[in-house]
């Protein structure tokens, strides 16, 4: 299943407590993908959190997965390594590709 039906899957792992500064820090590499009742898919990323007053801010970006859903079942294995990557990473696809394929890679800001 590409999406989980439960409503409590967004966990607290988007932030952590820094004992040296006694403040919460946000994990900049964590984002979530959510689907609304109209099947629109959004990428959510926490960008601000103030523990003292409980306020937070999210970046929300509409993404399109229509072309991916049809092809995911055909992919036998997709590997991306090393994780985390700094200078480079490798993408390995174990599949019999018989036609033209396209791979799009985006950073966390959708660029």
The string of pLDDT tens digits covering residues 26-52 is 877 778 888 877 777 888 888 888 888
Euclidean distance between CA atoms 93 and 103, whole angstroms = 11
User: By C-alpha distance, which of 61, 62, 73, 71 is closest to 102?
Assistant: 71
Q: Does pLDDT of 1 surpass 60?
A: no
43 touches 31 (CB < 8 A): yes
Q: What is the pLDDT of residue 20?
A: 93
pTM: 0.47
CA dihedral (43, 47, 52, 53) positive or negative: negative
Q: What are 56-101's pLDDT values in tens digits?
A: 888 888 886 544 444 555 556 677 777 777 788 887 776 666 677 7
Please say whether the beta carbons of 77 and 95 come within 8 A: yes
Helix H or strand E segment including 67: helix 66-69
Q: Does residue 21 surpass a pLDDT of 50?
A: yes
Domain ranges of the chain: 15-94
């Amino acid at each position: 299943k590409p999406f989980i039906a439960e409503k409590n899957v967004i966990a607290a792992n988007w932030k952590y407590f820094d004992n040296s500064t006694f403040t919460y820090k946000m994990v900049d590499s964590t984002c979530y993908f959510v689907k609304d009742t109209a099947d629109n898919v959004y990428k959510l990323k926490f960008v601000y959190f103030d523990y003292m007053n409980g306020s937070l801010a999210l970046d929300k970006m509409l993404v399109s997965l229509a072309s991916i859903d049809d092809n995911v079942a055909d992919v036998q294995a997709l590997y991306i390594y090393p994780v985390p990557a700094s200078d480079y990473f490798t993408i390995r696809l174990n599949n019999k590709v018989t036609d033209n394929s396209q791979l799009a890679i985006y950073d966390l800001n959708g660029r």
